[in-house]
Structure 1
C-alpha cells in the first residue's frame, strides 16, 4: 500500500527550500547584482574589443572549471548525507583539490596547443590567467559545497562574496588605474579568487585519506564523473555560443551578445544556484513519495514565479539595456536577444527539476547522455542560424536546445524518477506569459510608453512577492 504524505510535511519542506535554503541563492543574487552594477562601467572602460576577449576567456574558464572540478562538488554534498558524512565529505574535498590542481597544471602546459583552434593565439596571456582563475574557482566551489552542506551560512557568505563582489571591484580597479585591457581585468578576478580559495579551505579544511577510504572515494568519483560531461553539455548549451559567434561575426559581436546575455541570463543563473543549494535537502529526503511530492511542488512554485518574472523582464529590457550598454553596442537592437534568453528560463527550470530527481537517485549518467544530445543540437543550430539570423539566431538555438533537453530528460526519468506533470492550467499561464512578454518587448520604449513599462515592472515585482512570501511563512 502506498504511503500518503500529509500536506503539512510537504509544506514544511517547501518552507525550508524557499526559506533558509534560498538564503544561499540570495547571496549569489547579491553577487550577480554587484557584477551587474559594474557591467556598464566595465563595458565603457574596456571597449567592445577587449570586453569581447574577456567574454571568450570567461567561456574557456568555465569549461576548465567544470573539467577540473570533476563533478565532485555535488559528490561532496551527497557524501555529507551518508553515514560518516561530515568526515568523508572533507576527504572528498581533498580529492577534489588534488584533481583540480592536476588539470590546471596540464591546461597551463598545453595552452598554446588548444588556443589555435579557438583562434586565440594572440591572447595567450589572457588565456593563461583564465586557466589559473578556473582552477582556483573549482577548488573554491568544492569548499563552498561543503560549507553549504554543513549549513554554515556566514562562512559561505564570506567566501562567496569575496570571489564575486571583491573580484569585480579588483578587476575594475586594475583596468581603471593601470591599463584597460582584458589581461588586467582577468588578473583582478584571479587574485581575488585566490584569496577566496584560501579562505574557503581555512573554513572548510580537507581531510587526508588513507587506504581504508579508497572504496568511499571510488564511489564518490563513480557518482561524480558523469556530471562532468553533463555540466560540459550545459556549458555548451549556455556559453559555447559566444565562441561560435566570435568565429562567425568577430569580437565586437561577442561583446554585444555578452552584454545582452548578462542581463537576460540572471534568472537562469539564479535557478542554477538554487538547484545546487537545494540538492543537500533532496539528498537528505528519504527516497519515495515524500521526495517526489516535494520535487513536484517546488517545481510548480518556480513555474508560478516565472510568470511575473517573464513579463517583468520583457517590460524592463529596454530600460536595462540603455543603462548596461553604451551606444556603440546598439542596445536598441538587442531586445529580442534578451527576450529569447529570458524565455529559456522555462525549459531550464523544467530540466533542473528532473535533474534533481535523477541526481538524488544516483542516475547521473542519464543526465550526461541527455545533456550531450541537447548540446550537440545547440551547436548544430548555432552553426546553421548565426549566419542567417545573427545574434537572435544564436539565442533562439539555445532556447530550442533547452526545450529538447527538458523533453528527453523527462522521458528518461519516467523509469527511474517519475515526477508528476504540472497542472495544465499552470502550463497555460506560462504560455500566456511568454506571449505577453513577446508582445511587450515589441512595444516602443519612448515617451509615455517608457513609464508604462516601468509600471509593469513594479507590478510584476509585487506579484512575485505575493507568490513567494506565503510559501516561506508556511
Structure 2
C-alpha cells in the first residue's frame, strides 16, 4: 500500500502519516541495525582487548592512557566543528554535492585545531596534570585531529547509505586500532605512549581509506552561504558535545587530581562497562540522524521520534538489569585483582541507570536538531556539565569514585529537563508499558547489587542474565515490526 499524501496543516494540529511512521520504524530497527551490528563488532573486540591491556599496562599506565584518551575526545570535538551533524542535515536538504564540500571544510577545521593545540601544548599540559608535553599526550593531539576528520567522513558515508565503506572505515579506527595498540605494547614497551601510538597509526589509515571513498568537492566563493549555514548549525554543537564529554569523561581528570591514577583506572574500567548502553544509544543516534532529518520537523518527524523513544525504553529495561546482574562476571574478566572489581558493583549500577535520562535527552535532542535549534542543545549541555563538575568537586572527596557516578546520573537528569523546555515537552506521549518497564529495569539494576558474589551467587547471576537476554529478544521482536493501522 502506498503512503497517503500529506495534507497541509499547522504543525500542532497535523496528523502524522501512520504508514510513513511505521516504515521509518522498520528502517530504524531493520536496515539501520546493520550499521549497529558492525559497531557491535568493534565493541566486542574492545572488550576482548581490555583484559590484555589492563594486564600489560598495569593500573598507573592504564590510567595515563585513559587521561590521554579523554584529552583526545575533547580535541576531537573541537576539531570537528559540529560538521559531522551538519553534513548529514545538508545532505538531506541540499544533496550530496553540498555535503562533499562541507567535508573539505571539516578537514581544514580539524587541521587548524590540531596545529593550535600542538603549538600551545607546553602551556596547558602541566596544569591539566599531564606533566611535560610529550609522549602519549602529544600523540593524543594528532590522534584527535585524525579522529575529527574520520567522524565527518563517516557521517557522509552514512548519509549515502554506503554500508560497506562505512564499515571498513569504522573497523579500521576500532578493531585495527585495538590490534595495533596491543602489538605496540609487545613490540615497543608496555606504556601508555605505545598504546596511543598504535591507535594513532590505525586512525591515520582510516582517514586515508575514508577520503579515498569520497569524492571531495572544493569550496568556491559562491559556497559562502553554504559554509555560513553549516557553521551556524554546527558550531553550537561544539559546546554541546563538549558538555556531553564533561558529563561522560571529565570526572577522570577530577578523580586523577583528587585520588590518583590508580583510582582513574578503577573508575574507567567500571565506567567503560556501565556506559555501554549509553554508548550504544549514542551510536544509534548518529546512525539514525539521516532518517530523522528526512522525516523533517513536522508531525511525521515528531511521531517517528516518539515511537523510536518508546521502543528504546522497552529495550533499555532488560539491558540495564542484565548488565548490572552480570557486572561481577564482566569486571573480573576485564580487570585483574589489583583493580578490586568486586568493589565497583554499585558504581557500575549507578552509571548503568544513567541511561534512562540519557535516552530521554537524546529524543528531545533529535527534535531540536530537525528544527535546527542547536543553540538550545548547547545551552542544556553546558548547564548540565557545570552541575556535573560542581557535584564531582563536592562528592569525590566525600564518596570517592561513587560520587563521580552519582554526579553523572544527576547531570543527565538535569539535561533532560532542560531539553524539554524548548521542545514544549515534544515528543509528547510515552506508552505506559515502555515507561513502566524502563523504571522496573532501573530498579532491578540497583537492587541486584545486593546479590552475593560467591560462587553460588555468581551462578544465580548468570541465570538471571540469561533471563534478561530472553526479555530483550522478546522486546526487540515487538519493536522490530510495528503495527500499521488499517485505514477506514
TM-score over 0.5 (shorter chain): yes
Describe the superposition over 1:13-67 as per-residue Cα deviations: whole angstroms up to 9, x where unpaired.
1010111112212222211111111000100000001000000000000000000
Give the match for residue 3 of structure 2. none
Residue 52 (structure 1) aligned to one of 63, 72, 79? 63
Give the match for residue 138 of structure 1. 148
Give how far 1:199 is off.
0.3
Q: Is 1:163 equivalent to 2:173 in the alignment?
A: yes
Q: How far apart, CA to CA, are the structure 2 residues paired with 1:80 and 1:6? A: 23
Give the match for residue 31 of structure 1. 42
Bigger shift: residues 119-128 or 195-204: 119-128
Q: Is 1:420 equivalent to 2:431 in the alignment?
A: no
CA 1:243–1:343: 2 relative to 1, 3 Å: same
Describe the superposition over 1:336-372 as per-residue Cα deviations: whole angstroms up to 9, x where unpaired.
1111111111111010000000001000000000110
Q: How far apart, CA to CA, are the structure 1 residues paired with 2:215 and 2:351? A: 38
Q: Is 1:120 equivalent to 2:130 in the alignment?
A: yes
Q: Is 1:446 equivalent to 2:446 in the alignment?
A: no
The aligned length equals 471
Bigger shift: residues 304-313 or 375-384: 304-313
CA 1:129–1:243: 2 relative to 1, 3 Å: same
Residues 59-138 of structure 1: pairs in structure 2 closer than 5 A: 59-83=70-94, 85-122=95-132, 124-138=134-148
Which stretches in structure 1 are left out of the alignment for 5+ residues? none
Residue 4 (structure 1) aligned to one of 5, 12, 15? 15
Q: Is 1:353 equivalent to 2:363 in the alignment?
A: yes
Which stretches in structure 2 are left out of the alignment for 5+ residues? 1-8, 483-488
Q: How far apart, CA to CA, are the structure 1 residues paired with 2:297 and 2:472? A: 31
Give the match for residue 16 of structure 1. 27
Q: How far apart, CA to CA, are the structure 1 residues paired with 2:478 and 2:447? A: 30
Bigger shift: residues 382-391 or 403-412: 403-412
Q: How far apart, CA to CA, are the structure 1 residues paired with 2:386 and 2:296? A: 35
Bigger shift: residues 171-180 or 65-74: 171-180
Query: Structure 1 segments of 4 or more deviating over 4 A?
Result: none
Bigger shift: residues 281-290 or 167-176: 281-290
Give the TM-score, by structure 2 length: 0.94
Give the match for residue 316 of structure 1. 326
Give the TM-score, by structure 1 length: 0.97
Give the match for residue 161 of structure 2. 151
Describe the superposition over 1:65-109 as per-residue Cα deviations: whole angstroms up to 9, x where unpaired.
0000000000000110113x1101000000000011011011111
Give the root-mean-square deviation of aligned CA atoms: 1.2
Residues 448-467 of structure 1: pairs in structure 2 closer than 5 A: 448-467=456-475
Q: Is 1:257 equivalent to 2:230 in the alignment?
A: no
Q: Is 1:387 equivalent to 2:397 in the alignment?
A: yes
Q: How far apart, CA to CA, are the structure 2 residues paired with 1:164 and 1:452? A: 34
Residues 238-257 of structure 1: pairs in structure 2 closer than 5 A: 238-257=248-267
Describe the superposition over 1:161-195 as per-residue Cα deviations: whole angstroms up to 9, x where unpaired.
00000000000001022210111000000000000
Residue 429 (structure 1) aligned to one of 415, 423, 437? 437
Give how far 1:413 is off.
1.4
Q: How far apart, CA to CA, are the structure 2 residues paired with 1:361 and 1:420? A: 16
